[in-house]
C-alpha cells in the first residue's frame, strides 16, 4: 500500500489507522503517532503528515495521508476536545478494512466500559459506535459475510476464514442495536459540554 497515497476521511481515521496497522519493519506494533502536521502536495492534494514510531522495534516512518480540506477545517473550528466524526460519507474506508473496524470497536468499547469519567465514557462509546458503522459500510444488504474486497491484507482475509462468525453482519447489527443512534449520542455530548482532552489519544 506504500506506493499509493493513504486516503483518510478525517484526522480521527488517521489515528485509528495507526492503532490497527502493523509496523513496516517488524510486522508488529502498534505504531505511536506524533502530532499531525498539515501538508500539501503538487498543489492538488491536501492532508497531514504524521511521524510514527513502532512501539516494539522503535522503527520510525513518515506517513502521508490525503484528508479532504473541509474535514481539516472542521477540526480547527470544532471546540477543543469535542468528539470527532470518523467519516461523514457513506463511502467505506480505504485504509482500515472491515476486520480492522471490528477490532477497533472491541478495543474502544472495552475502554469505554472501564472509563471512570462519564464524559470520557460517552466519547469512547460514540467512537465505538462509529467503528461498527464503518464496518457495516462494507457489506451488501443481502450477504451475511463481507465481500472479498472488504479485506485489505492476506493476514486479515486468513483470520476471517478461520473465524467467519466474528464478521457476520447480523452479529454486528446486534452489537450496534445495543448502542444509541449517532444523533442521540451527539445531542447528549453537546448538552454535557466538551472535554479537555483530545479524544483520539486516550491510549497515548
Ligand atoms: Zn516494528
- Tell me: the pLDDT tens digits for 121-166? 999 999 999 999 999 999 998 999 999 999 999 999 999 999 999 9
Nearby residues for ligand 1 (ion, Cβ within 5 Å) = 23, 25-26, 54, 56-57, 59
Query: Looking at the predicted structure, is the pLDDT value of residue 2 above 90?
Result: no
Distance 133 CA to ligand 1 centre (A): 30
Cis preceding-peptide flag for 84 (omega within 30 of 0): no
Distance 131 CA to ligand 1 centre (A): 25
Query: Are 134 and 93 a contacting pair, CB within 8 Å?
Result: yes
Distance 165 CA to ligand 1 centre (A): 30
Residue 96 DSSP one-character state: S
pLDDT, tens digit, for every residue of 42-72?
888 899 999 999 999 999 999 999 999 888 8
Separation between Cα atoms, residue 96 and residue 131, nearest integer Å: 10
pLDDT of residue 67: 94
Distance 56 CA to ligand 1 centre (A): 5
For the chain, percent of residues with pLDDT exceeding 70: 90
Give the predicted TM-score (pTM) of the model.
0.89
Distance 170 CA to ligand 1 centre (A): 36
What cell was used for 88?
A: 461523514
Distance 93 CA to ligand 1 centre (A): 24
Residue 40 DSSP one-character state: E
Distance 101 CA to ligand 1 centre (A): 22
Amino acid at each position: 500500500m506504500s506506493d499509493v497515497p493513504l486516503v483518510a476521511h478525517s484526522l480521527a481515521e488517521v489515528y485509528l489507522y495507526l492503532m490497527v496497522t502493523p509496523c513496516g519493519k517488524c510486522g508488529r506494533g502498534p505504531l505511536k503517532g506524533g502530532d499531525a502536521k498539515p501538508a500539501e502536495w503538487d498543489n492538488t492534494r491536501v492532508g497531514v503528515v504524521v511521524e510514527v514510531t513502532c512501539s516494539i522495534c522503535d522503527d520510525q516512518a513518515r506517513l502521508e495521508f490525503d484528508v479532504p480540506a473541509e474535514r481539516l477545517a472542521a477540526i480547527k473550528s470544532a471546540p477543543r476536545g469535542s468528539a470527532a466524526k470518523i467519516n461523514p460519507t457513506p463511502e467505506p474506508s480505504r485504509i482500515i478494512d472491515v476486520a480492522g473496524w471490528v477490532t477497533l470497536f472491541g478495543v474502544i468499547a472495552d475502554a469505554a466500559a472501564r472509563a471512570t469519567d462519564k464524559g470520557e465514557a460517552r466519547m469512547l462509546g460514540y467512537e465505538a459506535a462509529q467503528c461498527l458503522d464503518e464496518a457495516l459500510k462494507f457489506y451488501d444488504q443481502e450477504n451475511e459475510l463481507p465481500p472479498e474486497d472488504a479485506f485489505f491484507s492476506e493476514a486479515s482475509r486468513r483470520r476471517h476464514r478461520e473465524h467467519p462468525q466474528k464478521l457476520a453482519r447480523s452479529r454486528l447489527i446486534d452489537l450496534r442495536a445495543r448502542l444509541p443512534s449517532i444523533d442521540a449520542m451527539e445531542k447528549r455530548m453537546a448538552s454535557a459540554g466538551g472535554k479537555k482532552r483530545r479524544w483520539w489519544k486516550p491510549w497515548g
